[in-house]
Amino acid sequence: MKNQVQLITYVDRLGGRRDGADLARLKALLCDPASPLGGVFGGVHLLPFFHAIDGADAGFDPIDHTQVDPRLGDWRDIKALTDGLDVMADVIVNHMSSESPQFLDYAERGEASAYAGLFLTLDAVFPNGATERDLLTVYRPRPGLPLTCATLKSGERRILWTTFTAAQIDIAVRHPQGRAYLAGILRTFAAHGIRMVRLDAVGYAIKKAGASCFMMPETFDFIAEFAQEARALGIEVLVEIHAYYQRQIEIARQVDWVYDFALPPLVLHAFNFHTAAALKRWIAVRPTNALTVLDTHDGIGIIDIGADASDRAAHPGLVPPEELDALVERIHVASGGESRKATGAAASNLDLYQVNCTFFDAMGRDETAYLLARAIQFFLPGVPQVYYVGLLAGGNDMDLLAQTQVGRDINRHFYGEDEIARDCERPVVRRLIELIRLRNRHPAFGGDFHVEPSGTDELHLRWQQASEWAALHINFRDLAHALSYSGEGGSREIFAFS
């Protein structure tokens, strides 16, 4: 994976119009030297572009995982994009749409279907029946049980695993049909130039009677086997897991790449509580084979810095529980109450461990603090990813939230081409692009990283490679800061983001 900042975006929400040319427009936006974003990013993570992009979960419930939604373009457009950029795509490992041809055939023909083994039933995991204790042991990211009762055309009723929604039917990934289905996705990706994949919801892919059914040893075995298959096709693998921070460290030792999901709430904590103590503790132990993020298409994770739910006393979080609760409340206040309307029981498709809000609004639209947060992200070891709404310092889309009643849509705005052009002229966006270019081009970021001594309310970071260096100093109490770096003829400095 190239050590440069990547963009994360939906194809149709960044200048798209769904007329079959969205992928071509995105390529022009990111690769044309005349574009305000031309040449800014080293890679792009395309959020689900498969048929169909507008299902129950914004493309994360594919009807056909091997077909590009024709409203965006086709596989030739994907291949053309890979000629200029590293491209990452999602392999939605855990489930597929209830509207998929495979599931419709199963619903029509039952056990006579060629796909009867593709979908995971309750009996397949609990052949001797499940007790109440068994079901309560299953880890849940959302309220309720991960099960849906389906009536087939024959009248037969089956209880199916549906980890997320009833429209997303879990795959039996260990069954030969499940293996063949996932292998076909990888081959299609490789044939069209995709060299990185993110395993979406892979933590839930393996189910085992009497266990949590989340990130078990058997899950790691599955990830290792899948990654080996991907590597044979020249594809790197990123694992997406929201979990207790110590668990994330353990996971990182066993996979190629993980997300640093603890970073966003810790950065918010540092600015809100005027202390770098928790952030420094994390920097000292965090995995470096990480993609650093402040925002994604999902919400801001809370579980990632909280105590382990299985034993809070023995396994405390990176911040005390009262400060974590206060942080959530401060995000709601900073966003003018908008995030409260999109989080938890206030909106459908909810996740118990996330606050739905743009990162810019979570920081109260303070441009100086926002740019300093991005500087921290870019200075930490790993490969930075910037979400398209965050790139444009976007605010909460309350109209889209009101329209869909899906909490995460508050941070999934549809940008027109004119809106992108206007936002790229805003000082905060111009300066963010300047930071991205510095991170991509300066040789110091290929050298050694150090956290220098400083007070508890300060953070001093430095990169050094031979005579090349870059340094970031921040005081969280008064936002005094300095970003400096070596340059031709001496050092250069960037001061006063405001």
Dump pLDDT digits (tens) for 313-334: 888 999 999 999 999 999 999 9
- Contact 315/263 with Cβ under 8 angstroms? no
Lowest mean pLDDT among 104-108, 222-226, 463-467, 490-494: 490-494
Q: How many CB atoms lie within 10 A of CB 193?
A: 17
Phi then psi dihedrals of residue 63, to 5 deg: -75, -45
pLDDT of residue 348: 42
12, 240, 304, 458: the catalytic one is: 240
- 162 residue type, one letter: T
- Alpha carbons 428 and 433: distance in angstroms, whole number: 9
Name the strand (E) or helix (H) holding 403. helix 398-404
Report the pLDDT value the prediction gives residue 489, as an integer from 0 to 100: 65
Checking 402-406 for CB contacts under 8 A at 24+ apart, the result is 405/347, 405/348, 406/58, 406/347, 406/348, 406/349
Instruction: Identify which of 186, 200, 197, 199 has the alpha carbon closest to the alpha carbon of residue 233.
Output: 186
How sure is the predictor about 496, in pLDDT bands with cuts at 50, 70 and 90?
low
Write down the pLDDT at residue 405: 92
Token output for 71: 């409203």
**Cα-to-chain-centroid distance, residue 286:** 17
Q: Is the pLDDT of residue 492 over 90?
A: no
CA pair distance 38, 35, nearest whole angstrom: 5
| Annotated active-site residue in 22, 77, 170, 200 | 200
**What pLDDT was estimated at residue 291?**
98
Q: What percent of the chain clears pLDDT 70, i.e. is strictly above it?
A: 97
pLDDT at 242: 87
Binned at pLDDT 50, 70 and 90, residue 303 comes out as confident
Share of the chain above pLDDT 90, in %: 86
For residue 255, pLDDT beyond 90? no
Before 52, cis peptide (omega within 30)?
Answer: yes
pLDDT band for position 84 (cuts 50, 70, 90):
confident
How many angstroms separate the CA atoms of 386 and 44, rounded?
9
Q: From 373, 381, 376, 378, select the one nearest 448 (Cα to Cα).
A: 381
pLDDT beyond 50 at 177: yes
Which is higher by pLDDT, 59 or 346? 59
Indicate the residue type of 6.
Q
Q: Each residue of 429-472: pLDDT tens digit? A: 999 999 999 999 999 999 999 999 999 999 999 999 999 999 99
Instruction: Return d(Cα 299, Cα 33) in angstroms, integer.
Output: 33
DSSP code for 55: S
Contact between 248 and 262 (Cβ < 8 Å)? yes
Q: Other C-beta atoms within 10 Å of 70: how many?
A: 11
Calculate mean pLDDT across residues 238-253: 90
**pLDDT value at residue 349:** 38
For 6-37, what is each residue's pLDDT tens digit?
Answer: 999 999 999 998 888 999 999 999 999 999 99
- Enter the tokens of residue 386: 């910037």
Interatomic CA distance for residues 383 and 380, integer angstroms: 9
Alpha helices by DSSP H, 335-394: 338-342, 359-362, 367-379, 388-391
Tell me whether residue 240 is one of the annotated catalytic residues: yes
Which pLDDT does position 350 carry in this prediction?
43
| Helix, strand, or coil (residue 87) | strand
In angstroms, the CA 463 to CA 117 distance is: 52
Instruction: Tell me what the mean pLDDT of segment 332-342 comes to.
Output: 96
Rounded to whole angstroms, how far apart are CA atoms 437 and 440?
5
Say if residue 352's pLDDT is above 70. Answer: no
- Inter-residue contact 173 to 179 (CB < 8 Å): yes
What average pLDDT does range 480-495 have in this prediction? 82
Q: Based on the residue annotation, tell me whether 111 is a catalytic residue of this protein.
A: no
pLDDT score of 290: 97
Tokens in use for 343?
Answer: 């989080």
